[in-house]
Structure 1
Amino acid sequence: MKGILSSASAMATVLVLSAAAHAQESSAGSAREVESDSGGFGEIIVTAQKRAENLQSVPISATVVSSDQLASRQIFDPSQLQLVAPSLQVKSFNAAMGASNFSIRGVGTLSFSNTIESSVTSVIDGVVMGSPVLGFMNYLDLAQIEVLNGPQGMLFGKNASAGLVNITTRRPEIGRFEGSLLGEAASTASPGRGLLYRLQGVINVPVSENAALRISGSQTHTDPIMKNLVDVPGSDYGQDQTSLRAKLLWEPTPELSIFIAGDYAHSKGVGSGGSADRIVRPTSLFAAENAELGIVAGPKNAYSSYGAPTVASFDVGGLQANIDYEFAGGHTLTSITAWRKFKADNLFDSDKHRVDILDTNHQLTDVRQFTEELRLASPTGGFLEYQLGLYYYWSGSDSSITASGAFGETEAPPPGYDAWLGIISIGEMTSKSYAGFGQATLNLTDRARLTFGGRYTYDKLKLNSISDDTGFVFPLGVPGERAQSVSEENFSWRIGGQYDVADDAMVYASVARGYKGPGFNLSIDPNAPLIKPEIPTSYEAGLKSMLLDRRLIFNISAYTSKFKDFQAQAFDAASNGYVLLNAGALKSRGFEIEASALPAEGLTLNLGVSYVDAFFSDFQFDRCYPFQPDCRANGTTDSSGNNLPNVPKWTISFTGRYETPVSENLAVFLQGALYSRTKSNFSSTEDPNTVLPGYSQLDASIGLKQIDDRYKVTLFCRNCFDERQPTFINSNSQSRGDYYHMFGLNSFRTIGLSLEGRF
């Protein structure tokens, strides 16, 4: 940690001193003249409060990543977003292919179960994704991504108790014909030196004098990240993804705007969902198998021995219509209607080895969602600015899981049985949510503003599930039927104030009470308890400033949050599966720094620092990890005081980019990016075998472009020093005391070439 602290201090010093040195050479003048003459930072427009506003004027801690920043870092997948947003962490899990489980300020959803909501919600073009799987998308033709820290449920539809990732794609441009093509090919340092390529195209076509159509598509391919040493016909360990998006913008009158969009994505293959042994005990059933195949379990191991077919595929897409109408008095009425659907068919070897203990885990998932939001916004600039809205959400989810295996037996099961071990579980859930919300700002003076808002939410959920052990000698868990329902009412709120201490500096403070709705345990136990709502209370204060002729942006925020009845997940040895439960309480406190500098012509520096102290203040009945010394007789332990899973204390992102002309038409650019984090643990019990050590990762690129960005070629490396860090570490439920890990795109050095052309 001392090394990271020293690096952070040095980086901050470089930002300030280099900007100051250049500022001394600039002439004085009015703020507007300085911005124009010095070539400093312009306004960064965000929609963090459902209005187009300057980021520096919004009293919310946020990280904004532009499309150019994503492209320059070769970031095209949600799992890579944490590299540019230090307050955000990402966990992927093979039980929910396509989903990216975000956490902000240490708090996120500790389960991929579709029976509970996300603590950190994704919003795409104004549509809230009730489940992480519904929001899958390759980062194609984006305008920007806003990572909003802290509770954001006041204005963003469904409940975002810990934060929100707001994704905005580029809208069609009326009266303009343009397009772009991008091709990228790379080789990774994964076993077999895997190939990765991406093809992407965008075209914008005027339809009439007041309408335009924009179509984009992409195709990505990734060779297997993990290498299976057993030949299993029918398996697909790589990943191929196709994404299509079409958008129509029609402005029949100056007051009326109609935006219609549809998207579809298909993915085939396991990709980063594969796993390999990290720890295998000498007495394990898998020890002899690994010795025979030459697999050495350990932190760097990327070889596996899956003995049964392992394949995965999913389809996701939807339609939406955004209608905006501005009345004569300046009020704007907005309607957002959307429908989305996700369907997956995943087949995994649950024991992850050639020995057949539980070779089959077949999961079928079907999730549908319909939302309607109606919002009225007042004009800006007056004493009172406000927004009022109504929101409706409906979701239906069907799931089917067939788990079976030989339980280590080498002989066929007795006549009349399909397998030695197994169970079939079928579940369906419906969820409805109704909400009314409002937020207002009082412009008390030219410098002082007061913001307050509230939201009433009514949730109603129903679950029906059946677990059947017919056909299995030994049932995997408890068979039975469940029919449960739950409803909940809540009022959440936010109060805040801000004051302009200078023309380009603002301080703010706020307190917010959030809400995350109830849920169900989709376990095979018919007596599984209901999951109570999660209630956060968050306090935040911060400073946003532009200094030195607007050549230095320096923003800092500090916060403390308390969560009541936090929704957690634990492995239950008795049922041999994961269960959801409410931790009594947790706390998250810390600070964030966002800084950017223009110290010299063509040079841009960006620094992000996040410090998080997130821990369970009350978690009395967590489930023990294997062979935990202080485990109670009933298999539970007290995890109070333990850090939250996958939460490093310190995270730092530092990027430097230099661009300079080399001729009248060409420019060369260089870029380096450092991402560092301290150690964390993937287990709420702080299992010593699931510790992720701290590490640093360097990305770099060099390229040549036309001055007008018409053509660009980039040679890049990601994770240049091959810091092989896993995305997940967990105990193997089929062999007590063994552990496996998973790797992702950022876990191996990747070297590649990117070509881009615009017309």
Structure 2
Amino acid sequence: MLAHAWYVLMASTAAPLAASPAATPLPQAATEPADGDSRASEIVVTARRRTERVQEVPIAISVIGGAEIEKTGAFNVNRIQQQQPSLQFYSSNPRNSAINIRGLGAPFGLTNDGIEQGVGFYVDGVYIGRIGASTFDFVDVAQVEVLRGPQGTLYGKNTTAGALNITTRPPSFTPEAKVELSGGNYEFVQAKASVSGPLSDTLALRLSSSATTRKGTIHNTASGDDLHRLRNLGLRGQLLWKATDSLDLTLSGDFNVQSPDCCVQYYARVGTTQRPLNRQYEALAAAFGYAPPSRNPFDRITDLDAGIRSRQEIGGVSLVANWDLGAATLTSVSAWRYWDWQPQNDRDFIGLPITTVSQNPSQQKQVSQELRLASNGADKLSYTVGAFYFHQTIDTQGSQVQGPAASRYLLNPTSANAGNPAVLDGLTSTNTISFDNTSFAVFGKLNYEVFEGFHIQPGLRVNYDKKSGSYLSVVTNGAGAPVICDPAPTSSVVRDQCATLAPQRYAPKFIDWNVSGDITASYDFSADIHGYATYAKSFKSGGINLSGLPLNAAGTGVDLATQTVKPEKVDNYEIGLKTQFLDRRVTLNVAGFWTAVADYQATVNNGQLTVIRGYLANAAKVRSRGFEFDSSFRPSQRFNLYVNGAYTDSTYEKFTNAPCPPELSGGTVTTGTPGAAGVPGGLSPVACDISGQRLPGISKWSFSYGGEYNVPVGGAGGQVYIGYDGNYRSRFSSNPSPSAYTWIEGYALSNVRAGYRRDGFNLFGWVRNAFDQHYFELLSTQSGSTGLIVGQPGDPRTYGLTISKSF
């Protein structure tokens, strides 16, 4: 029988909740009520080195069990966000992915290698240094935990917005196996299998695999291919050795390869800018006699004329050891991981050969080591202390190539060179980028019971970060000769080439120490009512820009003042209450938060092609505030409901030198009074004051809701069931500076399922996006202030059948 649907908001900072489940044998995620008992299932964790109800652990967390993941088809992080209102996941392709919680975490836009992520991503206790590696299909997952608010005084990497922890099923000394097969429209096929059992009295093995294929949902008329296809393979192995009664070691290895031919963006709409009218999209397209294959993006047709590929390979090994010393448990988590990214993109987004190549193949390697000592028992004073080391290297081989249409499309028509395709045709920027990142920290947390039911839990972290990098961009013309931009060229041809792609060379560095901490007070009003209040002072390490810098005022070199960004400084306040009543048939948890961020790391894209991936700057002040609730209701063992929601108000409190939105860009730059927005030929400000405006990617309101009803059939525990899962999010901005052209309107998605289950056998049909809702995941602007807005649509309605059997 189903556990209560969503595993609610919890509270505290009392112990290594995120790390512990991965570092110790996983407790049973939910203890089912006895037959005829309609109370909610017991959700237990080992957050404080002892088994306890998750409702009693004072930390802001939601836990989704593996059974919930399987039945809802949430087989990756992108689908998990539909179940968690406070979680946002954005991906224009696997490399350019971001996980945010409560509107904070990573700057919205294209990925910049030189900064930290504000949301930590962990698999079995191992910190993953690149969010791109989070796009894998889940393989044999036991549970997913979403922690909200700053983390770092208990485990792992310092994170300012939260953490996402995935725990896989551990090896079992009882033989077991499971197979699952799904098929659906768009030629969707997904197969999963796992097997586990003893090799001896002290050794146990688990092997797991997953393979997914699906035809693309967007047709490319230029190549004849269907884009947004899925081609994923995942393998995982774990070996558990119980060396003694007090010492166990788990060796894990995994390999994932994905080649999804995604994630394309194409014509969505057009908005006028301040660029001269004859240099905006409609006039430029007419000059070429060009028209998109459809002006309705939900016809799902494009004509991209460059190669599309999003292949990535992810893998690694880890060793987790737990040694029970009696009074405390010593945990060690050692890991090595790699990530290999091999993309192809069409960065002009249309079927004209303007930018024929724009891509950044990248290879990451990381090593990490964590040691943690946590007290055992339930004394009035308990503790966790530890140290964490992380080293990461990234090597990137970027390139950008302009095509024969670039001169006419990019250069001013009044220039004599605009009519000469040879001026920009073959203009190539070859970029060699390296990054070295070292981080070390010591941390600790106390949990003191002042009197019965009342706990004070202070925590402290000292962190060291060192980042260094190298960025070298060599520009050659169509004949392969170097383009020299400093000193300022006298040739108009070279000037136009330098204005399009300019050579760059710089080597940024960043070194810093910081001290962060938190304190939580919690009180158990009764066995089923628990409250808490938390204050956290946190830091997100400073960073270096590794995607190219904007040109200086003279246009002869880069602005070196922009090569580093300052650390974020975060003050977070939170209060929460967790309740269960009606004999635990009803769960209602609420939390309110207020987070103030100084020197917020924001994405800047000023339209220069020189900066092919955008760059970073600091917004003076950002604030995120709001409240969340999770609720579930189980009136009987046959029926359950859940409703979760979040209100998030995330705004730039002070950002006076922000990039301007497209309607205020493209005109003659002035330091005086700018022209009217969206009027061709107007005056554009150097920068815009967007203080008081909303952060991108964040809906003020978001909800998830659903339930399941079952009827016993055939005896012996057989059930026929029907389930529904829905989610809603209100409108949000899809541009770093809010623009009238890039708001994504609110939408609701509905997923339904119905089937039969008995004794480990499950057969059900499912429909996702049942009402075929048309919505965008992202909207972007075409470089050069042409006014073209491109979008990445969400998946259409999909349907299929899943059959599984446990042995």
TM surpasses 0.5: yes
Partner of 2:115: helix, strand, or coil?
A: coil
Question: Contact 1:614 / 1:644 at 8 angstroms: preserved in 2?
Answer: yes
Partner residue in 1 for 2:802? 754
Question: Contact 1:617 / 1:640 at 8 angstroms: preserved in 2?
Answer: yes
2:342 pairs, out of 340, 345, 350, with: 345
Q: Deviations over 1:447-506 (max 9, x none)?
A: 111101000000011111101112356244431311121101100101011111112111
Partner of 2:243: helix, strand, or coil?
A: strand
Partner residue in 1 for 2:390? 393
Question: Contact 1:286 / 1:353 at 8 angstroms: preserved in 2?
Answer: no
Q: Does 1:256 align with 2:247?
A: yes
1:501 pairs, out of 513, 522, 525, with: 525
Partner residue in 2 for 1:647? 698
2:180 pairs, out of 179, 182, 186, with: 182
Partner residue in 1 for 2:146? 147
Partner residue in 1 for 2:167? 168
Partner residue in 2 for 1:247? 238
Partner of 2:350: helix, strand, or coil?
A: coil
Partner residue in 2 for 1:324? 322
Partner residue in 2 for 1:490? 514
Partner residue in 2 for 1:701? 753
Partner residue in 2 for 1:22? none
Q: Does 1:275 align with 2:265?
A: yes
Identity %: 28
Question: Contact 1:477 / 1:524 at 8 angstroms: preserved in 2?
Answer: no
Instruction: Give the letter aligned to residue 44 of structure 1.
Output: I
Instruction: Give the letter aligned to residue 275 of structure 1.
Output: Q
List alignment gaps of at least 5 residues for structure 2: 7-30, 272-280, 409-416, 479-493, 550-557, 665-675
Give the Å deviation of 1:725: 1.0
Question: Contact 1:49 / 1:155 at 8 angstroms: preserved in 2?
Answer: no
Partner residue in 1 for 2:572? 538
List alignment gaps of at least 5 residues for structure 1: 1-10, 13-31, 188-193
Distance 1:725 1:47 in 2: 40
Partner residue in 1 for 2:126? 127
Q: Deviations over 1:219-249 (max 9, x none)?
A: 111211221111268x965230110000111
Question: Contact 2:405 / 2:425 at 8 angstroms: preserved in 1?
Answer: no
Distance 2:616 2:595 in 1: 22
Distance 1:370 1:619 in 2: 37
Partner residue in 1 for 2:444? 438
Pairing 1:69-148 to 2, within 5 Å after superposition: 69-94=68-93, 96-97=94-95, 100-110=97-107, 111=109, 112-148=111-147
Question: Contact 1:102 / 1:108 at 8 angstroms: preserved in 2?
Answer: yes
Pairing 1:652-663 to 2, within 5 Å after superposition: 652-663=703-714
Pairing 1:513-524 to 2, within 5 Å after superposition: 513-524=537-548
Instruction: Give the letter aligned to residue 548 of structure 1.
Output: L
2:211 pairs, out of 209, 215, 219, with: 219
Partner residue in 1 for 2:761? 711
Give the Å deviation of 1:312: 2.4
1:599 pairs, out of 614, 622, 635, with: 635
The count of corresponding residues between Structure 1 and Structure 2 is: 713
Query: Structure 1 pair 479/250, CA: closer, same or farther in 2 (3 Å)?
Result: same
Distance 2:430 2:386 in 1: 43
Pairing 1:605-620 to 2, within 5 Å after superposition: 605-620=641-656
Give the Å deviation of 1:292: 5.3
Query: Structure 1 pair 359/291, CA: closer, same or farther in 2 (3 Å)?
Result: closer
2:775 pairs, out of 725, 737, 750, with: 725
Give the Å deviation of 1:372: 0.2
Distance 2:697 2:286 in 1: 28
Give the Å deviation of 1:601: 2.3
Distance 2:378 2:48 in 1: 15
Partner of 2:770: helix, strand, or coil?
A: coil
Partner residue in 2 for 1:511? 535
Give the Å deviation of 1:380: 2.9
Query: Structure 1 pair 493/592, CA: closer, same or farther in 2 (3 Å)?
Result: same
Query: Structure 1 pair 48/149, CA: closer, same or farther in 2 (3 Å)?
Result: farther
Give the Å deviation of 1:445: 2.1
1:266 pairs, out of 257, 274, 277, with: 257
Q: Deviations over 1:270-310 (max 9, x none)?
A: 23x11220014662434688975641145x35211111222
Distance 1:749 1:109 in 2: 30
Question: Contact 1:606 / 1:656 at 8 angstroms: preserved in 2?
Answer: yes
Q: Does 1:422 align with 2:428?
A: yes
Question: Contact 2:607 / 2:785 at 8 angstroms: preserved in 1?
Answer: no
Pairing 1:287-686 to 2, within 5 Å after superposition: 294-298=293-297, 300-327=298-325, 329-406=326-403, 408=405, 419-472=425-478, 474-475=497-498, 476-525=500-549, 526=558, 527=560, 528-574=562-608, 575=610, 577=612, 578-628=614-664, 629=676, 633=684, 635-665=686-716, 666-686=718-738
Query: Structure 1 pair 669/360, CA: closer, same or farther in 2 (3 Å)?
Result: same
Moved more, 730-739 or 258-267: 730-739
Partner residue in 1 for 2:743? 691
Distance 1:48 1:589 in 2: 27
Partner of 1:71: helix, strand, or coil?
A: helix
Give the Å deviation of 1:36: 9.5
Partner residue in 2 for 1:231? 223
Instruction: Give the letter aligned to residue 579 of structure 1.
Output: Y
Instruction: Give the letter aligned to residue 793 of structure 2.
Output: F
Distance 1:58 1:407 in 2: 62
Query: Structure 1 pair 381/347, CA: closer, same or farther in 2 (3 Å)?
Result: same
Distance 1:81 1:634 in 2: 41
Distance 1:263 1:223 in 2: 26
Question: Contact 2:293 / 2:303 at 8 angstroms: preserved in 1?
Answer: no
Please tell me the root mean square deviation across aligned C-alpha atoms, in Å. Answer: 2.6
Distance 1:277 1:287 in 2: 15
Q: Deviations over 1:309-328 (max 9, x none)?
A: 2222110111000000001x
Q: Deviations over 1:543-600 (max 9, x none)?
A: 1111111111111101101011111102112345411111111101111101111112
Give the Å deviation of 1:655: 1.4
Distance 2:452 2:34 in 1: 21
